[in-house]
Amino acid sequence: MERTFAMIKPDATERGIAGKIISRIEEEGFRILGMRLINMTKAQAEGFYAVHRERPFFGDLTSFMSSGPTVVLALEREEAIRHWRDVMGATNPEEAAAGSIRKEFGESIERNSTHGSDAPDTAAFELGYWFPGVEIP
């Protein structure tokens, strides 16, 4: 079994579709080990996305991510990282596969409804960042 981090972004919570995304997560065989609704501060967003600090979209990204409620999740299943990335689809909803979350719910490359870890080390960092001091079963 593998663990990964998933996030339902502010554009999805604002449109009231977080429940649909959570249902899809469960339908895909993920076990939800942890889930929190957070109001990310700008500083938290900057820390989480620090790897992108020098990129031109950093300011817009961190402003967007701190613009409203976000659901953060700790997920587990076989090949969790790869499977969650497949379920999400490409970052740009226009390029995402039919049936993927981003194709179905994403509005743009920025407002694409979800985020997920891309590798085991990223998952470890992201899970620790949003679930600090929490022992995930």
Hey, which residues are catalytic here? 115
Torsion angle in degrees (nearest 10) through CA of 104, 121, 133, 38: -20
What is the edge-to-edge ordering of all strands in the sheet holding 2-8? Answer: 31-38, 70-77, 2-8, 114-116
Other CB atoms within a 10 A radius of the CB of residue 53 amount to 11
Closest CA to 42 of 70, 4, 83: 70
* φ/ψ of residue 88, rounded to 5: -65, -45
